[in-house]
Each structure stands twice: as structure tokens, then as C-alpha cells.
Structure 1
Amino acid sequence: MCWGWTASESSQQARRLIWSCSTTTSWCGVCCEAVDGSTSTARITVRGSPVRPVTIPALREWQPGAGSFEPGSPVRVVLAATLSETAEVFARDLRALGVDVEVIVQGGPPARGDVQLRLDAADPGLGAEGYRLELGQAAVITANTAAGVFYGTRSLLQLLAQPEPVPAGVARDWPRYGERGLMVDIGRKHFDYDWLAARVRELAYLKLNRLHLHFTEDIGWRIESDRNPPLHAEQHLRKQQVRDLVALAARHHITVVPEIDLPGHMGAALAPHPEFQLRDASGTANPGKLDYTIDGARQFVTELIEEYLPLFPGHLWHTGADEFLGPAHYARYPQLERYAKQTYGSDANAKDGVLGLLNEVNDLVRGRGKTLRMWGDGLGGGRAVGVDPSVDVEWWTDITPLSELAPVPTPRQVLDAGHRIHNASWYPTYYTNLPAPEPPRPDLPGMYEKWRVHRFRGQRYVDGTVGAPYHDIDPAEAANLGSTLHVWNDEPEQETAAEIARGIHQRLRVLAQHTWESPCLVPSYAEFEPLIIRVGDAPGA
């Protein structure tokens, strides 16, 4: 039995953690004693034996050994030169924990107390992000790729941050889903570089690998613009800050996904260009909507995308495409249907022009080696044009009055149309601050106990059990890319950046567990919360 003090964004007060763990039985008792003397105990019931060490996400496979791994003083991180960047990140994190570290490039077997990082393709079952972690006299992390080695260091880092000795044994671990991450609406609310950098470190600690920046909105364009007049708001990220953030993310094996939302949600972009605003038959402008029937407006879109493409070297580009016009509103803008018929034939309707624009954007970004993605509510509604199947679809709702001329396609229909799909379900991945009649924030017990990444659900719910039925797809569906937690700031002043960081803290950990999709250590969220405290927070986050 051993104890230690911890305080984190996830807890409102410091807690003394008392651990009573057995390596020979199928449970581990965790007692959390608050500073006021009150206690609560969670019994970690692991399905099957042996017990796995506590990490978030949980280890997929574990074979216990005898004894424990005792890091040297200083800890020597030994590696081949090709893993130097991974080693430096790991060493920085260990130093943030107060551990003295030496990074040594050398071959040969590790010495007692060393941490060895190795690339070896002998275990193809680990895939591109999996790893093998051997703990004994030394700690040896082996993977097929640098990303796999990096994720092995995350598990070891979590184990070293806990108060008890690191148990000896062998883990094999890999994720089910390739996309695991966080989206932040920085268009409506400015977040500074330090806040975003802290999120990168937090995501990496949990083996999450995507940071999606929704950086354009009606009320704000949040990345420096080179145009004259510039588009950016007074509070914005400089392009050099974005480059630094992208580089930091890359060192942590995180892809930054940019989003320029169009043809709706363009108020900030169109404010200096009223000539491209959508106008009804009376000439009244809709300031947040692009009139893509104007040649110059489509050229404007091309120029915007081309300005920011070099800033984001990752393989993904998000074009939004949500909430352009509600079904009853298209008739107010007769130029939309007229353009569609002239461009796509007499059978076309007004929505075909929107879908055609998305295909033009797709051609542009694919020509730069990127994959386009869009929000799912903008996918349907046309008669003559369909969105190219190469476009990935982020499915977030099954009902919206703001965007469709037809019912929103179900996840199964999205897949049947040839698209890959990403689970962006309102329940439970949306962290919003919208007042009633919008639904409350998804409950954490429901997110942990009822939801999985193959389960899709919109905004008609009370909690994880009560609400509209889930749209379930095959859990083994290869075209299901993964899931992301979404921070929307429709009411930008309602919470501070620090409050949002605290608000998403537990949700990110549940998301990490379910997107990695290793067997859960415990069946209930009440039992999972003490594990969150035990694993702690990313060093430096």
C-alpha cells in the first residue's frame, strides 16, 4: 500500500490517494480520501485475469511478470537515432515529473533501469500505432513505427506518474480506430496559443491523434489573413503561431485539421466583400451566406483555401458545408436554382449548386494531396449532383431544420453511398453551451456505459438511455474512421477557456478509452472516475 497527493483540473480539491492493489487477483481497490476526511472507494473489477495496470486508454493485452520495473537515477532513454524526436518528447515529460533523464543513442541491450525505444516490424499485428511494452529489469518499447513507440511512451509515462511501483510484465496494445481527437470552435471564441498547446499535450497523453480547428465563423476569422483588407478578427492566431502549433502537434503524432466552413457560416469572410453575399429577389443580403453563383465568389473561395493550404501539411481538409439554407429558404433566392439548371441540367434543383461547389473544393484539395471532409447534414438534397464518394463525412445529427431539402442521410446511407464516416454524434461528443430548447450536455455515465464509436445519435435525447434510438452500424465496419469530442462556442462568453478545459477533461478520457477500444477496466463511469484521478494529467499541460 502506498499513497501520494494529486490535484488536477478534473478535481475540485486535492485528494490523498490510497491504493491497495494485487497482481494475483482480479481486482484493485482504489480509495480516494478528500482533504475533509470523507472517503469513497471504487472496486476495479476487471473482466478476466490477470489484472492490467491502470492506463487510459486501458492496455489491450497484459501478461504479468515477477517484480517491478525500477527506473534508474538518472533514467537513461536509449534508442536508435531515428527515434530521437520521440525520445526528446518523452525526456521532456519525464523532467516535468521531476525525473532526471539522459538520452543516449546506442545499440545493444539496455542496462538495468533503462528505457529502450526500438523499431522492429516483427509483429505486424500491432499495426501503425500499436506497440509492445516489456517491463522488468529495463523497460523496452518496440513498435513498427515511430507513432507506435510514442504511444508506448505514453503508457509508461502514465505508469511512472502513479505512486506504486511499475509492475513487471509484457503488454501488447493497439487502437481500433485511426481517428481519435478533439475539435475546438475557435471561430466563435478565441483561444490563445498556450491553451491550444496544452490541449496538444493532453491529447497525446491519452493517445488521441487529431486536433480539428474550426477557425472561421460568422463572428470571427481567427487565423491571420494576408488579404487586403484582412479577414481576421482582432483576437486571432498569427500564422507563425499556427506553424508552431502544427509542429508541436507533429512531434506528438497529432494531425491538425483545418476547417474553412462554406458556403454558410461565412459572415467574417464576407463582411469586407458584400458583393459576394447571397441576396434575395428584393436585394436584401444574407450576410453569412456565399452566393456561389457569382464567378468571383467561387474564385474568392479558391483564393481563401489556397492561402491556408500551405499552413497545414496534414492530409485532411474540412470544408464544413453545414447549415447553408433551410428547405423553405431556397425559394427566396431564385438565382440558386437557375444556376443549378444552367450548370447541371434541367432536372437539377437549388441544392445541386451547393453540392457542385463542394465537389469543386474537393478537386482543389485533392490536387494538393489532401482528403476533404464535411459535416453530414449537407450531404443530401440534390437531384442531379452527388458529393464525390472520396469526401469523408462527419455525421453529427439525424435532424436539422437549417440545412436539408431531404432527410439527413443515416450513417448506413452515408456508407452505402461510398463515403467513409466519422462519428461526430451530438450525443455524446458535443460539448455545447446552447440554452433550451437545445438538449443538455451529454451525461458522462451514458457516454461511458452506453455509447461506443459504432453507435450514432443526434440531438434528440435525455441521456444515454432515454432518447431517439441509436443508429448502430457494424462494430467491425472498416469505413468507420473514429470519433472526436466537439467544443462548440455558440455563446462565446458563457465560459472561460480554463472552464472549458475543466469541462472537457473527463470527456476526453472517456473518448480516449472508447476510440482505442481496448477492453474497459471497469464497467461503470462511477468506477472510471477514480482511474482518471490515478492516471493524472499530462506533464506540462
Structure 2
Amino acid sequence: MTAAPPEWLAIPQPSAFAPAGGSWRPAAAHVVAGSRRFDVEARRLQQELACLGIPDGDESRIVLSEADVAAPSLIGEAFAIHVADDIEVRAATPAGAFRATRQLLHNLRAQGLVPTGRVESAPAVAERGIHLDAARKHYSAEWIIRMLHDAADVGINVFQWHFSENEGFRLESVAFPEVVSPDHITRAEAGLILETARDLHIDVVPSLDMPGHLRQVLSAHPDLRLPPGEEPEDPAAGGIVGTDHALDITRDEALEFARRLVDDMADAFPHSTKWNLGGDEFVAFERIGDYPALTEAAHARYGAAGTGFDLLTDFVNAIATHLRGRGLQARAWNDGMLRSEVATLHSEIVLTWWTNWHASMRPVAEAVAAGHRLVNVNDSLFYYVLGENAGYRYPTAERIWDEDWHPGLFPRLWGEEGQSTVRQEITRPYPPTLLGCSFAIWSDRPQAQTAEEVAAGIRSPLRAMAERAWNGGSRLSLADFQAMDARLRPWGCGSAVPNRIS
């Protein structure tokens, strides 16, 4: 009986694989950069092969070739691989070559060989991200760097770095040292993190949430806090809602402070082109009329129809305009957006869509109609909330497969009775509106897990998202994915972290 040809064992799976029935595992191999643009990737792969017991030698060649610009299928991160006695990788960009070489290494790690044949692959969405709340909990620079290597290994190409929260501000500030928590990342450490991300073809998106989530910052600037809300008429709505976390967006000096804080932190991210300004959970949105300062300022500015949502929209627009002047694309969380009566949210602001838990939150379709691009951060599947705070459950590959999730499947709309009802979905072929998706680590209860437990806990669900994000779903069954994931043991080669960061 003829043995079945070896499977292509890699995460994410390629778009297509035509097996030739054999395998590639030479005693030695020499990697050649067919273009100077691929020199770094050739050197990287040569070192990684040596780590797997395939030293530099003439028995076989791996050529990293620059794709012909006339080949429209090979753009961005797309790649093609032909495996025979030698291997040819074709890609249009260094990022594409990097993705292709991960595929080769996955096979070597999982089964000690690379199946012969032809592979073609291109991502279904441009962004596959990971968000890290490194503000409520301090993660060392070494840990973040290891996380970036693990994420890049499966095609993650965006890192949203959330360094400011109510409970901490954990990135060194030059202009406002008084707001920084004792345990924090220094600018020197940040530089090493950012250098690592660039090397791994990962875009870094700074996340500085405002005008809410600022308790740590405002503890040093209490004069800029929004005055508290009133006791609601309905006792069932709860008591007075505190505002020690909220910037007083009714005042020009608060807006100027926000701009200055952005400027100071933006200097730490010289290569970033995107910025998440937050905009979420500023006040209790379902009770926004219980904040007299907002209501009075909105009426004065917009007339009787104005609400606190109009002020919030204007604030977000103002910060977005400021970011644009620095060459940064503005992003905001969706829950408080598109709810104003008078002001209109700038259409170029990208919405990072995490939830529709309340019936008053606007649906995805409304954002698309208004011209906003979207990043899907589906909280029901991809929110890794430490301590499983606020009713969240740790994500699992099982739930991701059970939902048949793909990048266009957003959180369900919730009805008036507090139950999820309407499925929100953008189907393939995805429009340019859908930029991509992201996994999110939130450190609500920082002591609930150690950093190493977080790394272990996110491994399988992050890789499940990576597989389904790249392919717009997956041809793999859950069992096949889990078996493959188990064979791809953690990869340490090439991800060494310096013993000391000066």
C-alpha cells in the first residue's frame, strides 16, 4: 500500500497546497536572498534552520525570490512556495517572505520535514492583531518581546499596546512623570520592544484611552476631572456614578492637556502610523443625562437637542484631528460612538468593534453606512479577561469553532431584555471596510494570573484566531486544528531576549 503523502502542518494553513508526494529534509541547506530586500529574512532563516539541525551547506538551496510585480496574486503578505529538491519562496515584500518561511519552519518543527509540492497563500484580512492591557498589570519588556515572537510565529501583524488605564500608567512619560506608575516600561525598554516588533513585521498601535479610563492620570491632575453625576430618579439604576476616571471634556484646558499627553507619548512611537484614542466607557452611557456638567455644556453648545454624546463625539474628533496632524490614523472603541444627536463622528476614524452588550449601542451596519472602517475585537470570543471579570470566560478554540467564527462575524446585537439576538456579519469577499480583527488581553484582576500563566492561557485561542483570520474561516476541523497545534511546540529559536535591558 502506498503511504499517504505528508500533510502540510502549519498555522495558519495556506490557502492552497498541491502535494507532490515527497518530502524535503536535507542534511544541510543554504538560503539565498534573490533580492537585497530579502537579505534580513535570508539570514534569519539560515539561523533558524541551524537551530533545527540543518546547518548551512550545499546539499539544498532555499531561494527567497521577489515576486514579479505583474503577478497580482502576490501582493502584501501573500506568498508562494515550491518545494522540491530545492525550495523557492516567492513574495512581493519582506513581510510575505517572513510569513512563508514560518510555514517551512512549522513543518520542520511539527514533523521534521517539509512536504514537497506547491503552496499559495494570502490573508483574508490585512490586520490580525493582539491587544495587551499592560496598564492594569505590569508586564516586563522581556515578556512582551517573547509574546511578540510567539504572535508573529502564527501571522499576527498588529500589536496594540494599552499602556494607560484607571489602575496604572506604565510607560515612561517625559512631560508628565507624575502620572507614571512605579512599575513601568522605560523609554529604552520601549525602544527594544518597538525594534523587535518592526523586525517581526508587526505594526504597533499605541492605546491611550481618553476621555475615560484616566483615573491614574487624573489622580495627579484632579482639577481636570469631570464633576460627578446625580442620583438617578430610578433607584434601580444605581447610585451616583463617580467621575474620578473621566476628563472634563466641557473645558478647553482639559482638551489641551489631552493633546499634550498624546504628544508626549507619541514621541515614544516614532514608526507608528495608527493610534487608539479610546472613547469608551467615559461615563455610564445608559445614564448620560445624569451628568449635569455634560448636559449643560451640550445645551449651551448645540441647543436643546445636544447631549453628552455630542460632546464626546466632538472630543474624539478633536483628538483624531490632532493625531492626523502627526501622521497617525485615529481609532476608537465603538460603544459610545455614533450616538450623538448633532455632532457627526469623522468617517476616517476606525472603529475597534468590541461589543453590542446594550441595546442603545449602534449596530455594525450603521458604522459601515457612515463610512467607518472596522477592526473586529469580538468580546464574546476574544476577550481574555484576567480573573474572568465582568462575566467573561477565557477564550477557547472550542468556542471559536462552535461559533464558526471568521473575521466578519461580530458580537451579536443585544435587545431591550438584555439578551443577544441579531447576528452581525460581513460576508466574504470582505470589503475594504473590514480591516481585520484582534485578540485582546485585559488585566482586570492583575493577580488572577501570573504573566507566564497568561502566556500559556492565550496560546491556543490566539492561534485559533490566527488560523481563521488568515483564511476567513478554516478548512480544518477543531480536532485537526488541536492536533496540529499540539505538534507545533513552543518555538524558542531566534526569540532570545537579552539578559539585561539598559
TM score, norm. by length of structure 2: 0.89
Task: Give the aligned partner of residue 324 of structure 1.
Answer: 282
8 Å contact from structure 2 (residues 374, 434) kept in 1: yes
Task: Give the aligned partner of residue 175 of structure 2.
Answer: 227
Task: Give the aligned partner of residue 413 of structure 1.
Answer: 366
Task: Give the aligned partner of residue 498 of structure 2.
Answer: none
1:515 equivalent to 2:472? Answer no
Question: Aligned runs of 1:240-259 on 2, under 5 Å?
Answer: 240-259=188-207
Question: Aligned runs of 1:57-456 on 2, under 5 Å?
Answer: 57-65=12-20, 67-73=22-28, 75-101=30-56, 112-120=59-67, 121-280=69-228, 286-312=243-269, 313-327=271-285, 329-400=287-358, 407-434=360-387, 438-449=391-402, 450-456=404-410
8 Å contact from structure 1 (residues 322, 376) kept in 2: yes
Question: What letter is aligned with 1:537?
Answer: P
- Change in Cα spacing, 1:53 to 1:521, as seen in structure 2 (3 Å) is farther
Distance in structure 2 (CA, Å) of the matches to 1:151 and 1:397:
31
8 Å contact from structure 2 (residues 28, 59) kept in 1: no
Question: What letter is aligned with 1:528?
Answer: F
Aligned length: 477
1:55 equivalent to 2:10? Answer yes
Distance in structure 2 (CA, Å) of the matches to 1:394 and 1:455:
14
Distance in structure 2 (CA, Å) of the matches to 1:396 and 1:334:
29
- Change in Cα spacing, 1:467 to 1:294, as seen in structure 2 (3 Å) is closer
Task: Give the aligned partner of residue 233 of structure 2.
Answer: none
Distance in structure 1 (CA, Å) of the matches to 2:162 and 2:412:
20
Task: Give the aligned partner of residue 4 of structure 2.
Answer: 22
Question: Secondary structure of 2:116's match?
Answer: strand
Question: What letter is aligned with 1:440?
Answer: R
8 Å contact from structure 2 (residues 133, 443) kept in 1: yes
TM-superposition CA deviations, 1:242-282 (whole Å, max 9, x none):
12111111111100111000111001111110110111389
TM score, norm. by length of structure 1: 0.82
Question: What letter is aligned with 1:144?
Answer: A
TM-superposition CA deviations, 1:165-224 (whole Å, max 9, x none):
322111111100101021111110111011111111111110110111111101100100
**In proportion to residue count, which structure has more strand?**
1
- Change in Cα spacing, 1:56 to 1:210, as seen in structure 2 (3 Å) is same
Question: Secondary structure of 1:124's match?
Answer: coil
TM-superposition CA deviations, 1:377-400 (whole Å, max 9, x none):
011321111211100111111124
Cα deviation for residue 485 of structure 1 reads 0.8
Cα deviation for residue 311 of structure 1 reads 2.1
Question: What letter is aligned with 1:306?
Answer: D
Distance in structure 2 (CA, Å) of the matches to 1:259 and 1:21:
52
Question: Secondary structure of 1:288's match?
Answer: coil
Cα deviation for residue 451 of structure 1 reads 1.5
Distance in structure 2 (CA, Å) of the matches to 1:335 and 1:376:
23
Query: Identity over the aligned pairs, expressed in percent?
Result: 26
Distance in structure 2 (CA, Å) of the matches to 1:146 and 1:510:
25
Distance in structure 2 (CA, Å) of the matches to 1:21 and 1:224:
59
8 Å contact from structure 1 (residues 260, 319) kept in 2: yes
8 Å contact from structure 2 (residues 388, 394) kept in 1: no
8 Å contact from structure 2 (residues 385, 392) kept in 1: no
**In proportion to residue count, which structure has more helix?**
2
Distance in structure 1 (CA, Å) of the matches to 2:426 and 2:184:
40
TM-superposition CA deviations, 1:335-391 (whole Å, max 9, x none):
222322333445322211111000001101111222111111011321111211100
Distance in structure 2 (CA, Å) of the matches to 1:480 and 1:133:
28
Task: Give the aligned partner of residue 496 of structure 1.
Answer: 450
- Change in Cα spacing, 1:442 to 1:207, as seen in structure 2 (3 Å) is closer
- Change in Cα spacing, 1:207 to 1:443, as seen in structure 2 (3 Å) is closer
Structure 2: stretches of 5+ with no match in the other structure: 231-239, 496-502
Q: Which moved more, 1:69-78 or 1:265-274?
A: 69-78
